[in-house]
Each structure stands twice: as C-alpha cells, then as structure tokens.
Amino acid sequence: MKFIVSSQLLLKNLQAISGVVSTNNTLPILDNFLFDIGENQLTVSGSDLETTMTTSFEVTSKEKGQVAIPARILLDLLKSFPDTPITFSVNKETHAVRFTSEYGEYNVAGLNGDEFPKAPELEAAASVTVASDLLARAIGKTIFAAGNDELRPVMSGVYFELSSDNVTFVSTDAHKLVKYKRTDAKADAGASFIMPKKPLNLLKNVLSTEEADVTVDYNDTNAKFSFGSVKLVCRLIDGRYPNYEAVIPKENPNVLTVNRAQFLNSVKRVSYFSNKTTHQVRLKIAGSELHVSAEDPDFSNNADERLTCSYKGNDMSIGFNSRFLMEMLSNVETEDVILEMSEPNRAGILYPGETVVEGEQLLMLVMPVMLNN
C-alpha cells in the first residue's frame, strides 16, 4: 500500500488535529494518527477516546487501507523538511511504514488501523449552522471563566443554549460568570448542551484560520462540528447546568464607567501589593473619582491609585479578586467598560462600553470579596 503527499500539506493537516492527541494515553494506539487511505484521498484521525478529530485532503494513491502511525515522530520529521514530496509505503502484513524523500529513507513500526477507536455516530441528531468567526469569538469570550473543579463537572465546560431567536454561550466557576449572546444566529429548535473545554480549545485554534460555516450536529451525548475538511466529534458533559439567570442581579443602581486600559493597568499594578491568598483589590468610588487600592498587612505592603471616571449612584467601597477582574477586562475590546453594582456584598456586572459586533451582547459577572475594614 503506497501513497505520495506533499510534506507541508501533510504537516499543516496533522497540526490542525494534533492537539487532540494526549501525552498520557491509557491506550498505546492513541499515541498514533490513524491514516485511512482511499483513492487519491487521505483521511487522518486523532483521538483521546472523549474527542476525535479528522481531516481529509488529496494525495496520490490508488490503493485503499488503514494504518496507525506514531504521531510524535511523524510530526517532528515533517517539521524538519522543506516542502518536498514524501512517499509512504505500508506493509499490510506487519504494518511497518517506510517514508521516502529526496533526502533518504525512514522506517517506523505502525499499528493495525482496525484497533483505532471509532468515533461515535450521532443518532437522532439535531443541527445548527453558525459562522466560524462567531463560534471562535464565542469560545474566546467564555472559556476562560469555566471552572476546573472535578467535583462539579457541569461547571468545567461552556453551556450552549440554542433557540429560534438567538444562540447563548455561558461559563462560570461560581466566582465569575460570562454570558455571551448572539442575536444574528439562531437554531431551528431550542436545545442546550455542555461542551468540555479541551475540544473547545481545539476548535478555537482551528477556527481562527477558517472562514467556512460550521455545522453543529448534537444529541444527548455527543456533538459533531464540521467545517472545511475538518470534523470534530466529542462527548458532552452530562448533567444539568445551574440556573445562571438567577444569580445575575437585576437591580444595579450604581453605575461606573471608566477607561478599560487605564482600569486594567491600575488593577494590575495595585494587585502586586495585595494579599497573596485573596488577591483582593478595593474599589472606592465617590463622585468622579475611583480609588483602586490593595494591602497585605502581613508584609506591610499597600498601594493606592486614583482614576477619573463617570459614576452614577451612592458612594461605595467594594472588593474584588484582582485576577478575576483582570481576566475580564482583558477579554473586552472597547475603550470604556461599565461596571454595575448594587451592594458591596452583591455581584458586580461588567459590560463593554459599546457594541463591537452587530448582534453581540456580552455580560460578565464577578463575585465580590469581603473587605477587611
């Protein structure tokens, strides 16, 4: 069994799916790419059992067959080549693989492709189509707020909520929450599911180079994302997502508008002086002045900065975890941000100062830290 392919074309396609291959696999076969050779067509798959990614592209071949080839050595070899044709010869009996290029000959022990786990077929699946830039943007805006607590797996992913009016993406770790809504995309029927973080990061990386629409097929257990020559199938997180709307305060009479970059840089500088356990920074707002301060009494460290702002509401002091605040401010692109608050012990809500993309709505919620008076 033999096929010929450009080294750079093969490398580009393998890199698109290589992130799915884990470094600590329970099954040795998962350290390999599955090569499925058809007539002038090659489909390559990678898997970690939970997620499978495949990509297809043209090669020169007349025979059909399958073989599993070690992922790491193949990627390292291809990175060292300029663009050159490579001939792959596979022994169907022993699964040994020989690569031949103008530079020389290389041999590796392949494995029987039949042993590679098959991606699940989605039965009774519903479908929705979204633009690749919309999906990549939604993932980028939400994934940082998803949790890492293994005891609460439903919070370790991003919640997809599809309706006939909009699509909404939500993530939370109980300390911070992001709700990203797009009214310029809609599904034929209402549905919801929770996507794990790993396949979302894989999607985000590949979607950044794609301009095709993404077809999302989903049922109760799995979701499949298809775009261009790439397909990703993953197992969904099982469980009921928390009622996130219930934790978003509706009445927030105290409204702060401030320059985003100045606020971010101020919080960053002041946070160096904060307590290393709580990372607490204090916002003290009165009139058109915002004081950002922090202290660590154990080391006699403290810092205080003053910013000009626009503020409507009662004078107040409220504490936040500086790391959460910086993550959120870094994920907003507008010149100004709006921070709405009700009480020092209630969550603050952060909005962009203006709409960046038509049809986009972004809300970020951050829980306060109790102030030490």
**Same domain flag for 174 and 217:** yes
**Same domain flag for 172 and 86:** no
**Same domain flag for 222 and 254:** no
CA 371 to CA 8: how far, in whole Å?
Answer: 57
- Token code pair at residue 260: 């985003």
Q: Quick check: is 190 in a domain? A: yes
Q: Quick check: is 120 in a domain? A: no
Average pLDDT over residues 228-238: 95
The 10s digit of each residue's pLDDT in 272-297 is 999 999 999 999 999 999 999 999 99
The 10s digit of each residue's pLDDT in 74-98 is 999 999 999 999 999 999 999 999 9
Distances (CA, A) of 305 to 79, 272, 288: 49, 13, 14
**Same domain flag for 104 and 206:** no
Residue with tokens 């356990």: 277
For residue 24, the model assigns a pLDDT of 87
Residue with tokens 């306060």: 368
**Same domain flag for 75 and 97:** yes
**Same domain flag for 260 and 360:** yes
Q: DSSP letter at 196? A: E
What is the pLDDT confidence band of residue 190, given thresholds at 50, 70 and 90? confident
- Token code pair at residue 262: 């100045």
- Report the SS3 class of residue 199: helix
The 10s digit of each residue's pLDDT in 333-344 is 999 999 999 999
Q: DSSP letter at 237? A: B
* 171 phi-psi bin (left φ>0, alpha ψ -120 to 50, beta other): beta
What proportion of the chain, given as a percentage, has pLDDT over 70? 99
- Average pLDDT over the chain, rounded to an integer: 95
119 close to 43: Cβ distance less than 8 angstroms: no
85 close to 6: Cβ distance less than 8 angstroms: yes
**Same domain flag for 267 and 166:** no
Is 80 exceeded by the pLDDT of residue 373?
A: no
Which of 220, 245, 270 corresponds to the end of one domain?
245
**Same domain flag for 240 and 165:** yes
Q: Quick check: is 36 in a domain? A: yes
CATH number reported for the structural domain that contains residue 56 in this entry: 3.10.150.10
The 10s digit of each residue's pLDDT in 119-173 is 999 998 889 999 999 999 999 999 999 999 888 999 999 999 999 999 999 999 9
| Phi, psi values for residue 116, rounded to 5° | -70, 135
- The lowest-confidence range among 135-149, 203-217, 346-360 is 203-217
Task: Give residue 215's domain range.
Answer: 126-245
**Same domain flag for 201 and 296:** no
Which of 203, 218, 245 corresponds to the end of one domain?
245
CA 245 to CA 166: how far, in whole Å?
Answer: 16
Is 90 exceeded by the pLDDT of residue 186?
A: no
Q: pTM for the complete prediction?
A: 0.92
Q: Quick check: is 179 in a domain? A: yes
The 10 Å Cβ neighbour count of residue 208 is 11
The 10s digit of each residue's pLDDT in 303-328 is 999 999 999 999 999 999 999 999 99
For the chain, the domain total comes to 3
The 10 Å Cβ neighbour count of residue 75 is 16
